[in-house]
């Protein structure tokens, strides 16, 4: 057993990465957890709405079949995003001032996907939920911290910058 203790950010990112393993998307497998006052409030992974067939079970992705680039045409995606599922599972009071941890695994390679970030719709939901920070895993030990206030001040919906 390793005696190296991970820092808190990587501890929570490890949990988000484990949550991602439940994901059913066949493009990118995301996991998210919301943490407030050092307690996990909720978790979420990318997958089809309850009762609908999952892409991994159907072995089919409409966005992939149509060769749609990342960040575009999410209305064709079967999945509810990991961030959205985590937000749905928590009360607003629990999310006010909280941190959302996000990890992404490439479905085909099983490797961590560097440089990911929440899409525009998820950013809007994170803002409205009252979440203060988003921590995104890039490698097993490296991550980025995003202050949600920056998304409010630098409104990407006006510039056309896309996430995911």
Residue pLDDT, tens place only, 71-103:
778 777 778 899 999 999 999 999 999 999 999
Q: What pLDDT score does 164 carry? A: 44
What mean pLDDT is predicted for residues 110-132?
93
Which alpha helices (H) appear in 90-147, and where do they start and end? 92-95, 120-129
Residue 102, beta-bridge partner list = 32, 136
Catalytic residues: 83
What mean pLDDT is predicted for residues 112-135?
94
Percent of the chain clearing pLDDT 90 (strictly above): 55
For residues 104-119, one letter each, b for 16 or more C-beta atoms within 10 angstroms of the residue's C-beta and e for the rest, the string is: bbebeeeebbeebbbb
Q: How far is residue 39 from each of residues 1, 34, 45, 159, measured CA to CA in Å?
A: 25, 9, 18, 35
Q: Which residue has the tokens 């493009």?
A: 27
What mean pLDDT is predicted for residues 149-160?
78
* From 30-34, 92-96, 159-163, the region with the lowest mean pLDDT: 159-163
pLDDT at 2 over 80: no
18-32, 76-90, 122-136: range with highest mean pLDDT: 122-136
């Amino acid at each position: 057993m390793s005696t190296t203790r991970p820092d808190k950010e990587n501890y929570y990112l490890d949990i988000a990465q484990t949550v991602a393993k439940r994901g059913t998307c066949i493009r990118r497998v995301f996991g998210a957890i919301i943490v407030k006052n050092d307690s996990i409030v909720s978790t979420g992974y990318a997958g089809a709405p309850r009762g609908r067939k999952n892409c991994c079970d159907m072995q089919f992705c409409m966005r992939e079949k149509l060769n749609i680039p990342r960040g575009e045409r999410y209305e064709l995606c079967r999945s509810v995003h990991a961030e959205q599922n985590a937000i749905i599972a928590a009360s607003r009071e629990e999310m006010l001032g909280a941190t959302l941890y996000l990890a992404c695994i490439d479905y085909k390679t099983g490797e961590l996907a560097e440089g990911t970030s929440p899409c525009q719709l998820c950013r809007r939901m994170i803002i409205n939920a009252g979440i203060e920070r988003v921590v995104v895993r890039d490698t097993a030990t490296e991550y980025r911290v995003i202050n949600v206030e920056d998304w409010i001040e630098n409104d990407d919906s006006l510039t056309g910058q896309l996430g995911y």
